[in-house]
Amino acid sequence: MTAEINLMENAVYVVIDGQLTKVTSKQFGEDTIIWKEGRVFDVIRSQRVRMSGQDVI
Protein backbone atom coordinates (compact mmCIF):
# COMPACT_ATOMS: atom_id res chain seq x y z
CA MET A 1 0.00 0.00 0.00
CA THR A 2 1.09 3.58 -0.57
CA ALA A 3 -0.23 6.90 0.65
CA GLU A 4 0.35 10.43 -0.59
CA ILE A 5 1.10 13.19 1.93
CA ASN A 6 1.64 16.93 1.54
CA LEU A 7 5.28 17.69 2.32
CA MET A 8 4.50 21.41 2.63
CA GLU A 9 2.34 20.78 5.71
CA ASN A 10 3.87 20.48 9.20
CA ALA A 11 2.61 17.27 10.78
CA VAL A 12 3.68 13.91 12.15
CA TYR A 13 2.34 10.73 10.61
CA VAL A 14 1.93 7.40 12.40
CA VAL A 15 1.22 4.17 10.55
CA ILE A 16 -0.36 1.28 12.47
CA ASP A 17 -1.35 -1.88 10.56
CA GLY A 18 -1.49 0.05 7.28
CA GLN A 19 -3.69 2.85 8.66
CA LEU A 20 -2.22 6.36 8.47
CA THR A 21 -2.96 8.82 11.29
CA LYS A 22 -1.90 12.47 11.03
CA VAL A 23 -0.90 14.20 14.27
CA THR A 24 -1.43 17.87 13.52
CA SER A 25 0.68 20.69 14.88
CA LYS A 26 -0.52 23.20 17.44
CA GLN A 27 0.72 26.66 18.32
CA PHE A 28 2.47 25.71 21.59
CA GLY A 29 2.83 22.47 23.50
CA GLU A 30 4.37 19.05 23.46
CA ASP A 31 3.41 15.67 22.02
CA THR A 32 4.86 12.49 23.53
CA ILE A 33 4.62 9.17 21.70
CA ILE A 34 4.23 6.08 23.89
CA TRP A 35 5.49 2.83 22.40
CA LYS A 36 4.42 -0.68 23.44
CA GLU A 37 6.10 -3.76 21.98
CA GLY A 38 7.46 -1.82 19.01
CA ARG A 39 4.17 -0.13 18.08
CA VAL A 40 2.76 3.32 18.78
CA PHE A 41 0.34 2.87 21.68
CA ASP A 42 -0.66 6.42 22.70
CA VAL A 43 0.07 10.06 21.98
CA ILE A 44 0.01 12.36 24.99
CA ARG A 45 -0.70 16.00 24.10
CA SER A 46 0.06 18.84 26.47
CA GLN A 47 -0.34 22.55 25.93
CA ARG A 48 1.77 25.40 27.27
CA VAL A 49 0.14 28.73 28.16
CA ARG A 50 2.47 31.70 28.51
CA MET A 51 1.51 33.89 31.47
CA SER A 52 1.20 37.53 30.53
CA GLY A 53 -1.15 39.01 33.13
CA GLN A 54 -4.37 37.20 32.13
CA ASP A 55 -7.26 37.21 34.60
CA VAL A 56 -8.17 33.63 33.72
CA ILE A 57 -6.58 30.86 31.69
* pLDDT tens string 2-53: 999 999 999 999 999 999 999 988 888 899 999 999 999 999 999 888 899 9
How far is CA 6 from its chain centroid?
A: 16
Give 5's strand partners: none
- For residue 57, being part of any structural domain is answered with no
Total domain count, the chain: 1
CA distances from 40 to 2, 16, 36, 56 (A): 19, 7, 6, 36
Q: Which of 18, 19, 3, 15 is nearest to 39 (CA)?
A: 15
Task: Specify the pLDDT at position 48.
Answer: 87
- For residue 45, being part of any structural domain is answered with yes
Model's pTM, two decimal places?
A: 0.71
- For residue 31, being part of any structural domain is answered with yes
Please state the rounded mean pLDDT for residues 52-57: 90
- For residue 1, being part of any structural domain is answered with no
